A and B are shown apart, each in its own frame.
Chain A
Amino acid sequence: MVVLREGMCPGLDEGLLRDLRAADVKTVEDLVSSDIEELAQKCSVSYKGLLAIRRVLLAQHTAFPVSGADLYEELLSSTAILSTGNPSLDKLLDSGLYTGEITELSGGPGSGKSQVCFGVAVHISYRLKQSVVYIDTTGGLAAGRLLQMLQAETSNTEEQMAALQRIHTFRLFDVYSLLDCLYSLRSGGLQQASVGGGSVKAVIVDSVSAVISPLLGGIQNEGMSLMIQVAGVLKTMAKDFNVAALVRVTQSLMCSALNARGISSVNPNPSQDTSSSYCFET
């Protein structure tokens, strides 16, 4: 609920505000919902004046409808598909990660999820020469491993270093820090991260469940509410800034909140597989 304040819109002065409060109209919602004719009489202001105030407040706080045709037009011009660097994974995802969308990655412990995240980050920064934001919430991000993957791509040290510089890392271990970071990125931080390289094309969160799961299952509603907020800010960031979001989760618990395309990696029984090497060549 948005509280009515002096100077919110022309005509909403101290006196009127006091009268409105006396009539039990405290928020924008109250004013918009009430019968303007009746309210104008109570507050002894002109009906037209109050109607104008209502109109301005409504325009300030409503969400505006956009035509589907315009949305589609915009989408066609802005959507990009980012290859993950792994042909079979690309095939699975209809040629890669879509900007504006969230792709969810799940699987058991040690099933290769982080390796997929690393691979995508390296591919986008080195091959596509674009920036990546990598948010690590489990302490699993190893820059040494990223370097290893880059070394498999090129022996040119300068190119390796340039690619590493295009990967912006954040290490955050609780949900509030994650929200702080995501909201900051959303309100301009993404452009900052683009300076000195291509624009940010992907945001990788490895993993969301690590910071959410300590809050779920309690008696309080806070955990669910925070989870929805993480999902919400990721979705709007992906849409509005046209970046692809790759989100690692431990279980598909976020699925309904994220509305994401999900991939899950499966590790066959670890004790069964013997000598083979997992995509060291990326």
Chain B
Amino acid sequence: MTESGAQLFARLEGRRCLKDIEPHLFPEDGGPDHGEVVELCGTEGTGEFTALEAPVCLNCTAHLEPVCVSGKTELLYHLLCRCVLPEAAGGLEVDVVFVDTDYSLDMLRLVSILDSRLSTALSTSSSSAGSEEAALRSCLSRLLVVHCSSSSQLLLTLHFLETSLSSRPSLALLLIDSISAFYWLDRCEGGASVAKQEEKLSKCAELLGRLLRDYRVTVFATCHAIRRSSSGPAPSGSYLCRPWQRLVTHRLLCSRQDPAENMAAAARGSREQRRRQVFIVRCTSSSSSSSSCSMKGFRSSSFCVTDGGVEFIGTSSSQDNEQSQ
């Protein structure tokens, strides 16, 4: 196949690196480089958690459970917003493809986060409501959404996206929410043979590997915690096929802060504070590109979720060799 100058440029030079996508999350200088894959996992929520209560009748109450049990979705939207926001609003101003395999993209939520970020950033400069609306549209136009309903469709769609990748140098991020969406369907359709069960995702992972090498985009993919029949939740991500696991360079594990601790805080705090649930995200990266020896970085940060999206509270990091574990 022939390649135009623009395509070659897009492929090799033009793409923005996402190493600085969120300094809070990744170890210093350890953010995802060109062609690297970040997996976002959440632990499955356990226990009761009361966010808000309202009486539905005289002696029954209903409470709204938080939309996100582990904060994973909120974190994803945070990263997505950071990418599509203009540089003036602290964003990276790059194009993003959102592959929605769970049919879970909550556009209204995304817009409300973008809105709040834009209004904070633009309030300093004099701006009208119209320009804010225009800024929002231009953010959203940097986002491409594609819905997939089976793993074979995902595979074909990734093939199809190759054209977009080659023609749009501004496209820097591919989000897959989630990579584990078809896990059970594939297992069921694969019958008794593990190779058959994993065949489709393996092919997707192999193709992704090639696209990453050729076009140097960064991939963020979410992964559900999976309840195994007997042994409780499986270690995040590790149940997916080997070819996928080999691609992953950074792993972000989100979880809710110990509910007991939180309850104690809730008892003291007002209703408003009670909503402030703290989430913890732990980053493990095994970046091979930056240094020759296999360095492992850890970083743990905590954040809470407000109407305007994720707000980081604190971080603690350590960058050690593997022995530290």
Q: Do chains A and B touch in the complex (CB under 8 A)?
A: yes
CB distance from B193 to the nearest CB of A (A): 12
CB distance from A250 to the nearest CB of B (A): 14
- Does B56 contact A58, Cβ atoms closer than 8 Å? no
| Interface status of B293 (Cβ within 8 A of chain A) | no
| Interface status of B267 (Cβ within 8 A of chain A) | no
- Does A72 contact B107, Cβ atoms closer than 8 Å? yes
Query: Of A75, A101, A219, A228, which is within 8 A of B185 by CB?
Result: A228
In chain A, what residue has the closest Cβ to B70?
A: A256
- Does A58 contact B156, Cβ atoms closer than 8 Å? yes
Given the complex, which residues of B lie within 8 Å of A262, measured CB to CB? 64-65, 67
| Interface status of B108 (Cβ within 8 A of chain A) | yes
CB-CB contacts of B102-117 with A at 8 A, as 1s and 0s? Answer: 1110111011000000
| Interface status of A199 (Cβ within 8 A of chain B) | no
- Does B184 contact A221, Cβ atoms closer than 8 Å? yes
| Interface status of B79 (Cβ within 8 A of chain A) | no
CB distance from A129 to the nearest CB of B (A): 24
Docked pose: A274 CA to B217 CA in angstroms: 64
- Does B140 contact A276, Cβ atoms closer than 8 Å? no
Query: Of B61, B147, B153, B224, which is within 8 A of A265 by CB?
Result: B61
- Does B185 contact A225, Cβ atoms closer than 8 Å? yes
| CB-CB contacts below 8 Å: A160-214 with B | none
- Does B65 contact A263, Cβ atoms closer than 8 Å? yes
- Does A225 contact B65, Cβ atoms closer than 8 Å? no
| Interface status of A33 (Cβ within 8 A of chain B) | yes
- Does B69 contact A112, Cβ atoms closer than 8 Å? no
CB-CB contacts of B47-69 with A at 8 A, as 1s and 0s? Answer: 00000111111111111110101
Docked pose: A150 CA to B158 CA in angstroms: 52
Nearest 10 pairs of A and B residues by beta carbon: A68-B143, A225-B188, A62-B160, A279-B57, A262-B65, A68-B140, A88-B54, A224-B184, A259-B104, A69-B140
Query: Of A58, A111, A221, A255, which is within 8 A of B188 by CB?
Result: A221
Docked pose: A66 CA to B103 CA in angstroms: 14
Interface-lining segment among A14-22, A38-46, A229-237: A229-237
| Interface status of B167 (Cβ within 8 A of chain A) | no
CB-CB contacts of B79-94 with A at 8 A, as 1s and 0s? Answer: 0000010000000000
- Does A219 contact B62, Cβ atoms closer than 8 Å? no
| Interface status of B149 (Cβ within 8 A of chain A) | yes
Docked pose: A225 CA to B181 CA in angstroms: 10
Docked pose: A91 CA to B106 CA in angstroms: 20
| Interface status of B198 (Cβ within 8 A of chain A) | no
Docked pose: A92 CA to B62 CA in angstroms: 8
CB-CB contacts of A44-74 with B at 8 A, as 1s and 0s? Answer: 0000000000000011011111111101100
| Interface status of B155 (Cβ within 8 A of chain A) | yes
| Interface status of A32 (Cβ within 8 A of chain B) | yes
- Does A89 contact B62, Cβ atoms closer than 8 Å? yes
| Interface status of B219 (Cβ within 8 A of chain A) | no
- Does A65 contact B45, Cβ atoms closer than 8 Å? no
Docked pose: A62 CA to B184 CA in angstroms: 21
Report if A66-B224 is in contact (Cβ < 8 Å); known contacts: A225-B188, A252-B45.
no
Question: What are 11 A-B interface contacts by the 8 Å CB criterion?
Answer: A59-B160, A61-B153, A63-B148, A67-B140, A68-B139, A69-B143, A224-B187, A225-B187, A236-B149, A252-B65, A267-B60
| CB-CB contacts below 8 Å: B131-174 with A | 137, 139-149, 152-153, 155-157, 159-161, 164
Docked pose: A101 CA to B67 CA in angstroms: 12
| Interface status of B225 (Cβ within 8 A of chain A) | yes
| Interface status of B201 (Cβ within 8 A of chain A) | no
| Interface status of A82 (Cβ within 8 A of chain B) | no
Q: Which residues of A contact B (CB under 8 A)?
A: 1-2, 28-29, 32-33, 58-59, 61-69, 71-72, 75, 79, 86, 88-89, 91-93, 98, 101, 107, 111-112, 115-116, 217-222, 224-225, 227-229, 232, 235-236, 239, 252-253, 255-256, 259, 261-268, 273, 276-279
- Does B59 contact A236, Cβ atoms closer than 8 Å? no
Given the complex, which residues of B lie within 8 Å of A59, measured CB to CB? 160
- Does B58 contact A89, Cβ atoms closer than 8 Å? no
- Does B146 contact A66, Cβ atoms closer than 8 Å? yes
Docked pose: A60 CA to B323 CA in angstroms: 51
In chain A, what residue has the closest Cβ to B207?
A: A33
CB distance from B209 to the nearest CB of A (A): 13
- Does B152 contact A2, Cβ atoms closer than 8 Å? yes
Report if A221-B187 is in contact (Cβ < 8 Å); known contacts: A58-B156, A277-B58.
yes
| Interface status of B274 (Cβ within 8 A of chain A) | no
Docked pose: A229 CA to B181 CA in angstroms: 10
| Interface status of B28 (Cβ within 8 A of chain A) | no
Given the complex, which residues of A lie within 8 Å of B59, measured CB to CB? 267-268, 273, 276, 278
Docked pose: A117 CA to B48 CA in angstroms: 22
CB distance from A246 to the nearest CB of B (A): 12
- Does B69 contact A256, Cβ atoms closer than 8 Å? yes
Given the complex, which residues of A lie within 8 Å of B118, measured CB to CB? none
Given the complex, which residues of B lie within 8 Å of A92, measured CB to CB? 52-54, 62-64
| Interface status of B229 (Cβ within 8 A of chain A) | yes
- Does B55 contact A88, Cβ atoms closer than 8 Å? yes
- Does B137 contact A66, Cβ atoms closer than 8 Å? no
CB distance from B85 to the nearest CB of A (A): 13
Report if A61-B156 is in contact (Cβ < 8 Å); known contacts: A92-B62, A265-B60, A279-B57.
yes
